[in-house]
């Protein structure tokens, strides 16, 4: 999941996986099929990386606003 694009050639992402984990830093994608994902998935918010945009070949889908808001909430909690 793209967290931020600073328009400098890099993007900040966090992992989305079908390997379901249940921690305080994981956000379930409830409407995973509507989001364009192929399997039930979880966003592992604490698994953050910076990637060169050219590494991204395709967009698989988009999460809904409530899920995005949950991700933001967890991101903010990482600084606590």
Which domains, from first to last, does the chain contain?
2-77 (2.30.30.110)
Here the contacts of 70-73 (C-beta below 8 Å, separation 24 or greater) are 70/27, 71/1, 71/3, 71/14, 71/27, 71/43, 71/45
Residue pair 64/36 in contact (Cβ under 8 Å)? The answer is no
**Helices assigned H by DSSP within the chain:** 65-77
Per-residue pLDDT of 13-45, as tens digits, reads 999 999 998 899 999 999 999 999 999 999 999
Per-residue pLDDT of 37-75, as tens digits, reads 999 999 999 999 999 999 988 888 899 999 999 999 999
Tell me how many degrees the CA angle 67-56-33 measures, rounded to the nearest 5: 35
């Amino acid at each position: 999941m793209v967290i931020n694009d600073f328009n400098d050639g890099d993007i900040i992402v966090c992992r989305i996986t079908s390997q379901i984990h249940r921690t305080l830093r994981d956000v379930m994608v409830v409407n995973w099929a509507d989001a364009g994902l192929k399997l039930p998935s979880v966003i592992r918010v604490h698994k953050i990386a910076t990637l060169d945009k050219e590494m991204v070949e395709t967009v698989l889908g988009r999460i809904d606003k409530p899920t995005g808001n949950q991700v933001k909430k967890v991101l903010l909690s990482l600084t606590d």
